[in-house]
Chain A
């Protein structure tokens, strides 16, 4: 998917969210815990995300529609100006799909292509939401006397949905699933 498409999608996403500012449909994803630990001069992130799909999304999943989830991770200097670059800005994308023949839920790491099979949907989502020891940044990249903020959020990627589903997904609150930004203070 092109970068231009993503930006337009984001803009439209924002507009749709403004238009449908029904909080009951937003925040269905919840970052329940966030922490870091230093190991071998590298910061590792541990997080737990509670993915609560709406009925529409669950129905789509059961009918073989792959659902892509994106975890957006950012590290910025605390009090940074708007124009300052982020020290870290990456998106971890995983796809969950149902394998009807094997009656398993497959979770695919979109970056590495690794695939895991889960007997139940709950175990698959639980595994998806359990982020353990995700390497973030080297300690050397951080200034010792500065404070930094690690921010994490998760969302359902509408643009990865099949094309016929996308227009309605943009204007349907049930498909606009994301979490608030959760932050963690980093101080070397």
Chain B
């Protein structure tokens, strides 16, 4: 048999059942032994020992079960309470009838045993014995008198003579044996009915002692052997001859038989009467063992049954606990019995399988939803248009990165909050909300509107589209806003328009200027010397004015031409600080040494730019600043560079600030458009050209008024380190070497 099967067998009920059967058989044998079966009476004590041992093992088994149950109950293990309750019920159900049966069985037994012994029977037995004794006493007295007469008749002096006399007298008095003894008990002469018996039946020392002191003895003497008879033993003392005579007389067979019957009955009755207490104790002990066996068997059966009944329920409780913890893969062992509990466990397992399948399906759906959501977020995140979704209550449900960038706010802080609450989130968002609030509240269909927002950087134009959104979980509709920052687009369109205007204007104006200038110079050359001094002076002034104005117009037309000219870039790698320093040196050498204060900190950081155009940008900015502070008593222009680094980008910043009057509001919003200037003689193209060149280099330009007064122009250009630059452009020409 396999070890596993052995272990299963040893853990199962089979060993205990075998033990119970053994104890039961032992008790049955004990019962037979108590009934005094000859073969079994000798085995009573070993059987008692075996039964006690078996019951002790049962007590230990029950004790172990009880301790285990208590421990499980204290730990509040699943099923322990139900087990305890069932065990208690089983014990009560078994204890009551067993106790009742024990009590009444014992009562019946005790009363039955007591009924054997009755006062009348007791007295009758005593009387029977007394009667027998009285009858025998008469016989004994007769025999004593006969013996006393016999010793008087005894004659002879020698042993032989005494022997002959004894034989005669024995025949005469019908004695079985006559013997003459010395006082010490030593036989002198003997005469027995059996001639082969030469040694007399010696009386015991007590009889001899009694007779020696002069008191004759007469007593009954049961004989041994199968033919048991009652004899009368008489011992008398002949003091004159200092001799003892012992005479043994038979009794009649009838008397012997009757007295033996009485003796045996009396003896048996006395023995039973004496054993009554022991008999009761023995029966009580046997009954107690049976009671104990029944009780222990019931308790063990209670434990076993409770365990088997509760096991599936415990499994279900554990399974339910596992489900509560989120473990849906639990499968319970199905009981072997095909009862309701088995059906319950099967149903539980089926339920768990379905829950597990539903969980997997839900997880799959969730995963798909998450994937879809991630996909949508990626799509929304990659859109350049800002997208903001509102629910029916006007709360922000979601917004993409472009929306945050356009509105310059961290909208994640305001998700799930009503749109009206976001007014304080920033000036741009506040203007945006003010602009769309009415449309959201009133429009029930899609709408489209161009919104103009004002920031410190200038005017921002947003193209916003609103669409009511039917939400699946609500009858009320939400709203989705899609908006684009079209400021740059509008600016580009405007720049393109201005470029076209400038190009046509330059073309149309430039053509007649040269003939005008040449004609004026020709008039001056031909007639100046021929005319009187006064007229000559007028002509000189007039022609000079014409030539000068034509030059001015040429300059203006060239400026227009430059503005409208399509970009023609010759990018090189430049060190910005070197380039700025180079242009500054020109100004300083021209006598404006104290005006400019430089603070260059970008080090050897490089930009990829056209050096000629970048010089033009720096020159324009420095010139504008110089002109802005020219009328001030303490003019001051500060030039600074620095490297801006973050995880996303590296940029070089160039900043020119002055302590001049700064820009008014109108100028600031249109500063980078053509024909916007604060100077009397300016063309209004300088800042427009600066913006155009910087944007051509992928940079940004910003104008603002300083809080302490004055204007500040900031340029930011993309910066790449050398290795990155080399990897993108393998053959750049170092700007430093060229510019230096």
Contacts and interface: CB of A to CB of B under 8 A. Distances in A.
Given A117-B221, A166-B45, 17 more contacts: A4-B42, A9-B45, A11-B49, A60-B274, A65-B274, A100-B129, A100-B267, A104-B220, A104-B221, A117-B204, A118-B204, A120-B206, A127-B204, A162-B275, A162-B278, A163-B33, A164-B281
Interface string A156-167: 000100111111
Contacts of B36: 163
Interface string B204-244: 11110000000000011111110000100000000000000
Given A63-B271, A162-B271, A164-B279, A101 B33 contact: no
Interface string A84-115: 00000000000000011111101010000111
Top-7 shortest CB links A-B: A8-B46, A5-B42, A115-B224, A63-B274, A102-B220, A164-B279, A101-B263
A170 B49 CA distance: 11
Contacts of B141: none
B259 interface: yes
A163 B267 contact: no
B266 interface: yes
Interface string B266-285: 11101101110011011001
A159 B45 contact: yes
B48 interface: yes
Contacts of B33: 163
B354 interface: no
A48 B61 CA distance: 52
B285 A167 contact: yes
Interface in A51-100: 59-60, 63-65, 99-100
B129 A8 contact: no
Nearest to B207: A119
Contact of B270 (A63, A164, A170): A63
Contact of A8 (B34, B43, B278): B43
A100 B263 contact: yes
Interface of B: 33-34, 36, 39, 41-46, 48-49, 129, 132-133, 136, 204-207, 219-225, 230, 259, 262-263, 266-268, 270-271, 273-275, 278-279, 281-282, 285
A102 B207 CA distance: 14
Contact of A101 (B262, B274, B275): B262
Nearest to B133: A101
Contacts of B281: 164, 167-168
B220 A167 contact: no
Nearest to A105: B204
A4 B205 contact: no
Given A8-B43, A123-B206, A165-B278, A102 B270 contact: no
28 contacts: A4-B42, A5-B42, A5-B45, A8-B45, A8-B46, A9-B45, A12-B45, A59-B274, A64-B271, A99-B222, A99-B263, A99-B267, A100-B266, A101-B132, A101-B262, A101-B266, A103-B220, A104-B220, A115-B223, A118-B204, A119-B206, A119-B207, A123-B204, A162-B271, A163-B41, A165-B275, A167-B278, A170-B45
Given A59-B274, A65-B274, A101-B263, A5 B46 contact: yes
A119 B207 CA distance: 7
A2 interface: yes
Contacts of B45: 5, 8-9, 12, 159, 166-167, 170
Given A5-B43, A8-B45, A101-B129, A64 B219 contact: no
A2 B43 contact: yes
A159 B48 CA distance: 13
Contacts of B224: 108, 113-115
B42 A101 contact: no
Interface string A1-38: 11011101101100000000000000000000000000
A154 to B, nearest CB: 21
A122 B205 CA distance: 11
A50 to B, nearest CB: 17
Q: Which residue among A59, A165, A170 has the maximum number of chain B CB atoms within 10 Å of its CB?
A: A165
Contacts of A2: 39, 42-43
Contact of B48 (A1, A164, A167): A167
A102 B692 CA distance: 157
Nearest to B280: A164
A52 B543 CA distance: 177
Contacts of A60: 274
Contacts of B44: 163, 166-167
Contacts of B49: 8, 11-12
A117 B46 CA distance: 35
A104 B275 contact: no
Nearest to A127: B204
A167 B221 contact: no
B206 A64 contact: no
A60 B276 CA distance: 12
B46 A12 contact: yes
A101 B42 CA distance: 30
Given A118-B204, A164-B282, A64 B270 contact: yes
A102 B34 CA distance: 32
Contacts of B220: 101-104
Given A64-B267, A64-B271, A114-B224, A119 B46 contact: no
A4 B42 CA distance: 9
Contacts of A63: 270-271, 273-274
B549 to A, nearest CB: 146
Contacts of B279: 164
A104 B43 CA distance: 33
A168 B43 contact: no
A187 B84 CA distance: 73
B39 to A, nearest CB: 8
B274 A64 contact: yes
B446 to A, nearest CB: 106
Contacts of B263: 99-102
Contacts of A108: 224
Contacts of A170: 45
A77 to B, nearest CB: 33
A98 to B, nearest CB: 8
A88 to B, nearest CB: 26
Nearest to B37: A163
Contacts of A120: 206
A103 to B, nearest CB: 7
B202 to A, nearest CB: 10
Nearest to B226: A113
